[in-house]
C-alpha cells in the first residue's frame, strides 16, 4: 500500500449534520430523522446500488445541505455509519462509509491535478465524460506533447461493500458496469490505455476483488479486462464530518487480492 503524498481534502458544503436513517423511500430518496427533535428529513441519494449491509434503520447518516436552494430535497446523503457503530456514538467517533457516487469522479480529477496519481504521470489534461463509440466514460487523460504515451481512458467506480476483509464491487448486478469493462477492453486492444478507478469509501478492507457472489458476470468480465491490459487503480478515501474539516480525502493505494493481482501481472511481458 502507498499513501497519498499530500493530504487532498474535498470539503463538504458547510452545514453538514448527522441524522438517523429510517428507510430508503424511493430509488433516489432517503428518509431520516433529526436525533434531537425527531423531525423528518428527506435526502437525495445518487447511489443506485443496493448499499448492501448499510441501510439499517437507526444507522447514523451524514447529510450535506443542497447547494441549490430550489431543490425539492434539501439534503444530500454523503455517508452512512460503518456497521457495528453504536447508536450513541457522536460525530468524531463514527467511522463512515461514503455512498455519494460522484465522489470518485471528483477525487480522481482533484488527485490528477495535484499530481497524486503515479499511474497518470506524463499526462497533461483531464477531459470529463469522454465519448467512445456507443459508450461514455468518466475521464480521458491526454498525454503531454512529445511523450509518446497513448490516450488514457478512466472509468470511476464507488466501492462500499466489504466481505472477508476484501473491498468488493459491485454491490448489485451491474449490466452498465459490464458494458464499461467491454468498452475499456476494446480500447486497450486498439492501442489506448484504459483504467478503472475503484474508490473504496470505507476504512476497512485490506485489498480489492470483484464481488463474484453478487455479479459473477462482472467478475468474469473483469478477469478478461485485466488480462487484456486494463489497469485497476484502487484507492481508499477517508471521510470526516461533521465539523470544520468535514470532507473526503484520498488516503492510500490498495492492492488487488492475490488471485486478481496475478491476472493483472499476466499481461506483463516475460523477461528475456
Domains belonging to the chain, first-starting first, are: 13-98 (2.40.50.580), 103-265 (3.40.1350.60)
In the 3-class helix/strand/coil scheme, how is 106-123 assigned residue by residue? HHHHHHHHCCCCHHHCCE
H-state helical runs in the chain: 103-113, 175-189, 216-228, 258-265
DSSP for 165-212?
TEEEE-SS--HHHHHHHHHHHHHHHTT-EEEEEEEE-SS--SEEEE-T
Per the CB < 8 A criterion, the answer to whether 161 and 168 are in contact is yes
Q: Which three cell numbers stand for residue 166?
A: 476484501
pLDDT at residue number 91: 53
* Residues β-bridged to residue 20: 33, 60
Helices 216-228 and 175-189 cross at an angle (nearest 10°) of 10
pLDDT attached to residue 244 = 76
What's the grid cell of residue 148? 509518446
Where would I find the beta strands (DSSP E) of 1-149? 2-3, 9-11, 17-26, 29-33, 40-44, 60-65, 75-81, 96-98, 123-132, 135-143
- What per-residue confidence (pLDDT) applies to 92? 55
pLDDT value, residue 5:
42
> Closest Cα to residue 137, out of 129, 149, 148?
129
Q: How far is residue 31's CA from residue 20's CA, in Å, rounded to a whole number?
A: 9
Cα–Cα distances in angstroms (integers) from residue 164 to residues 16, 123, 159, 167, 208, in the given order: 32, 36, 15, 8, 11
CB atoms within 10 A of CB 113: 12
CA distance linking residue 76 with residue 46, whole number of Å? 9
Over the chain (272 residues), what is each successive 10-residue block's mean pLDDT? 64 93 94 94 95 94 91 95 66 83 96 96 96 91 94 98 96 95 96 98 96 97 96 96 86 95 66 42
pLDDT on residue 197: 99
pTM, 2 dp: 0.91
Task: Please check whether residue 46 is in contact with residue 225, taking contact to mean a CB–CB distance below 8 angstroms.
Answer: no
Instruction: State the maximum Cα–Cα separation within the chain, in Å, rounded to a whole number.
Output: 70
**What local confidence, expressed as pLDDT, does residue 272 receive?**
40
Alpha-carbon Rg for the chain, nearest whole angstrom, is: 19
Amino acid at each position: 500500500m502507498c499513501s497519498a503524498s499530500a493530504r487532498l481534502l474535498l470539503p463538504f458544503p458547510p452545514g453538514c449534520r448527522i441524522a438517523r436513517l429510517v428507510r430508503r423511500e424511493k430509488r433516489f430518496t432517503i428518509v431520516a430523522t433529526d436525533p434531537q427533535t425527531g423531525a423528518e428529513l428527506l435526502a437525495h441519494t445518487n447511489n443506485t446500488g443496493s448499499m448492501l449491509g448499510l441501510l439499517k434503520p437507526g444507522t447514523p447518516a451524514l447529510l450535506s445541505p443542497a447547494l441549490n436552494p430550489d431543490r425539492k430535497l434539501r439534503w444530500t446523503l454523503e455517508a452512512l455509519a460503518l456497521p457495528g457503530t453504536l447508536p450513541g456514538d457522536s460525530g468524531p467517533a463514527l467511522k463512515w462509509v461514503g455512498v455519494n457516487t460522484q465522489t470518485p469522479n471528483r477525487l480522481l480529477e482533484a488527485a490528477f491535478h495535484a499530481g497524486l496519481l503515479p499511474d497518470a504521470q506524463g499526462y497533461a489534461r483531464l477531459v470529463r465524460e469522454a465519448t467512445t463509440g456507443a459508450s461514455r466514460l468518466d475521464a480521458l487523460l491526454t498525454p503531454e506533447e512529445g511523450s509518446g504515451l497513448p490516450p488514457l481512458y478512466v472509468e470511476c467506480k464507488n466501492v462500499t461493500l466489504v466481505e472477508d476483509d476484501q473491498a468488493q464491487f459491485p454491490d448489485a448486478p451491474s449490466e452498465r458496469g459490464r458494458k464499461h469493462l467491454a468498452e475499456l477492453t476494446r480500447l486497450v486492444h486498439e492501442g489506448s490505455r484504459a483504467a478503472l478507478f475503484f474508490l473504496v469509501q470505507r476504512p476497512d478492507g485490506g485489498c480489492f476483488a470483484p464481488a463474484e457472489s453478487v455479479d459473477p458476470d462482472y467478475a468474469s468480465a473483469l478477469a478478461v479486462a485485466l488480462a487484456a491490459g486494463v489497469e485497476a487503480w484502487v484507492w481508499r478515501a477517508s471521510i470526516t464530518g461533521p465539523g470544520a474539516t468535514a470532507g473526503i480525502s484520498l488516503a492510500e493505494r490498495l492492492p488487488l487480492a492475490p488471485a486478481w493481482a496475478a491476472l493483472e501481472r499476466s499481461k506483463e511481458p516475460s523477461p528475456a
